[in-house]
Structure 1
Amino acid sequence: MILTGHSTSAYLQELFCPYENKNISVNRPRVWCKRDAQDENCCTGFSFQQGVNVLEQGNIAVKDDGKSFTVSVKTLTQGDGVYWCGFMTEDKIIVKLAEDYFTDTPFNFAWSILRWILFILLPVITISTHIYTNKKHGDTKTT
């Protein structure tokens, strides 16, 4: 048997960056950066021109429809954290369009959803158990 090709699996995260109502020239460089943990007004990353579709050796893909651009991330080279997308002004100031927490491991993403489900289920199970226990003990009591 001869096999050709290969298969890969990646954990893809996306950040939607709308700009149609921001009065910003669409020709300005776009920005993708990680927020600084020490100074929430700063970030570390890079800028890129409109028309660039692949960044970081294929780990980041950019789609632009003229009203927004979407950054799709397979692997975070800077690690977990809050990432921004935006535009760079002529004065080298970043105009932030959106931000979100990105993680390099799918477990963290699954846990972020699972913990809310557990948060809701725990009180429901506790109350149900309490009601069931009281009902069962109430049936066996005689006066």
Structure 2
Amino acid sequence: MNLITAFLLMILIGHSTSDHPQTLVCPYENKNISQNRRVWCKRDDQDQNCCTGFSFQPGNIVLEGGNIQVQDDGKSFTISVQKLTQGDGVYWCGFMTPEKIIVKLAEAPFPTAPFNFVWSILRWILFILLPLMTISFHIYSNRKHGDTKTT
């Protein structure tokens, strides 16, 4: 029974991931900008006034193969990021004017999810320790029962 439990736990540990999306809410109150293109970009480390990213149409959309989801409720749009394809940094959300000027609505630092990195290492350590502990427990319990003598 212990071996079956250990096997099931090894499978679960080996395939578990911890993907918690990071979000940024981009509020807008001016109805005149509600139809402007939205912008999501990473701030340039060298020039704090520039960013690299992309623009997209208003509405609820999925970008970068599902790594970025945008939900727009008419008063703000929320960007949820599963994976940062451009890496750590400060990211902006905003809109683009008809004159191609980016107006920043919000910004936030986005790390590349340190918990995911820790879990990716920890799960393999547990993957190795679990069968070792199961075998050790099995040997110890057999040894203890084997030492008992009947008269």
- TM-score computed with the length of structure 2 as normaliser: 0.63
| Equivalent AA in structure 1 for residue 98 of structure 2 | E
| Equivalent AA in structure 2 for residue 10 of structure 1 | D
Match of 2:89 among 81, 99, 104: 81
Gaps of 5+ in 2: 1-14, 117-151
Write out the 4+ residue segments of structure 1 that deviate beyond 6 Å after TM superposition: none
Name the CA distance, whole Å, in 1 between partners of 2:111 and 2:16. 23
| Equivalent AA in structure 2 for residue 15 of structure 1 | L
Question: Size of the alignment, in residue pairs?
Answer: 103
SS of residue in 1 equivalent to 2:25: strand
| Matched ranges for 1:1-143 at <5 A | 9-20=18-29, 22=30, 24-107=32-115
How far is the alpha carbon of 1:12 from its aligned partner? 1.0
What value does the CA root-mean-square deviation take over the aligned residues? 2.2
Name the CA distance, whole Å, in 1 between partners of 2:93 and 2:24. 8
Gaps of 5+ in 1: 1-5, 109-143
- TM-score computed with the length of structure 1 as normaliser: 0.66
Does the CA-based 8 Å contact 1:62-1:71 persist in structure 2? Answer: yes
Higher Cα Rg: structure 1 or 2? 2
Name the CA distance, whole Å, in 2 between partners of 1:17 and 1:25. 12
Name the CA distance, whole Å, in 2 between partners of 1:65 and 1:52. 9
Highest RCO, 1 vs 2 (Cα 8 Å, sep ≥ 6): 2
